[in-house]
Each structure stands twice: as C-alpha cells, then as structure tokens.
Amino acid sequence: MKIALVGYGKMGHAIEEIAVEKGHEIVLRIGIENLEAFTKENIAKADVAIEFTSPHSAVENIKTCVDAGVAVVCGSTGWLQQLPEIEHYVSAANGAFLYASNFSVGVNLFFELNSFLAQLMRKHHDYHVTLEEIHHTQKKDAPSGTAITLAEQVMRYITGKKQWVNHTSDNEAELEIISERIDPAPGTHKIKYSSYIDDIEIIHTAHNRKGFASGAVMAAEFLYNKKGIFSMKEVLGF
C-alpha cells in the first residue's frame, strides 16, 4: 500500500516507522517545511492518506485528498462541528473516509467499557460523574477528542447530563471535563463516578504513541480499496 502522511510531526514519524515495518511505502510526507508539495497531483500517488495536523487545517486537507481520489484516515481533532460537511463531501465524491478521535486499540476497548459502565450507572442517581484528561503541552485542543467521545457516550445513558463543559461546575446538567497539559504525558483519560459511600473509576493511560500509530496504520489497511464512511468500530469488528 502507498501512503501519504499529511502531517509529519511526532505522530507522523511514529506512523511511518510502523507502516514501513509492515511493508508499506511512504510516497509523500507533508510537514510545515514543505506545504507547497501538498497538491492533488502529489497526493494522487498514494492509495491512502493519513491526516494528523491541526483543527485549523484538517477540513481543507481532507477535501484536497478526496478531490485527488485518495482514501483518507483522519486523526486530527477539534474540528468535528464540520464533520457532517465532510461526510457529505466524501459521499458526493464516492470517496473513502475514516475518522477516529483515537486510533489506539486499547482506547477503543476503553470506549466500549465506558459505554457499558454508563449503562450500568444510569439508574444509580446517587453517583456524580466527571471526566479528567491529561496530555502533553503540545496538544492544541482541550478537551481532547477522546475525552469528548467519552463524554458523549456518558451523556447517551446518563440523561441528566445535557452538555459537557471544560471546567468545574456546580450545575448538575453539566458534565465536567477537566483538562491538564503536562509533559511528557502521551494521554490519560479517567471517568469517575462518586457517591458519599464510594467511588468507581475507569482509567486508560497511554505509555507512548505507538498504540495510536499502529491503530492508524490498521485503519489505513482497512480503508484500502473501499468506498464509504467508516469508524474504528468497523476496523475492530465491534
């Protein structure tokens, strides 16, 4: 498989290492030093583009890849208010697109665990639920896309929570997400249910970027030669 890396920072380098180990070819690397090379002609050399950039550039990057007829795996977060627009754009072009707030297999298992626990807790109104996430200081968005996914899963079942907020709150209708930025933390996410009797917590802690990178390559392998819009649920068979 021929891969274009759109975003060649630490994550792009980690993805390249794993992709090459698995026998794939990196045909294009786009970083801040060579943005002029990000053209439809160059992108078209790839079978799949893996996009890890920033909230400000992700949407246009995805569209450029779709216009070139190249499948897109996107891991940029902080732009999801435009996800319906992108899904419509991909469908209209008969393209292939896969977005995930987190590609780690462990985190996606954690998502399933979070949903199951929220279902169990929805009738136990004595418990107050909060979220906490910790990332490195270069993380541009807060809360993380992973934390937002976790919050939305919780609110699906804990219906008293109407919206998430990125600060402490005394409003029972608001789900707190507390964000910290500490180096060199790759990512920790905690969901805590507290009562006056006890606490219940589930925690996922990443030790390095390898889990995210290997999941992104797995997603690209899944998307290769497909059309449509997918998620990590299809990749992992959930």
**Structural tokens at position 5:** 């890396």
**Structural tokens at position 185:** 């933390």
Tell me whether residue 35 is exposed, middle or buried, using C-beta atoms within 10 angstroms of its C-beta: 0 to 12, 13 to 18, 19 or more.
exposed
**How far is it, in rounded angstroms, from Cα 51 to Cα 211?**
16
Give yes or no: 210 in active site: no
124: left (phi over 0), alpha (psi -120 to 50) or beta: beta
Active site residue: 24, 139, 161, 189, which one?
139
φ, ψ dihedrals at 10, nearest 5°: -60, -40
Active site residue: 24, 135, 161, 189, which one?
135
Give yes or no: 135 in active site: yes
Tell me whether residue 122 is exposed, middle or buried, using C-beta atoms within 10 angstroms of its C-beta: 0 to 12, 13 to 18, 19 or more.
middle
**Structural tokens at position 107:** 């985190």
Active-site residues, by number, are 135, 139
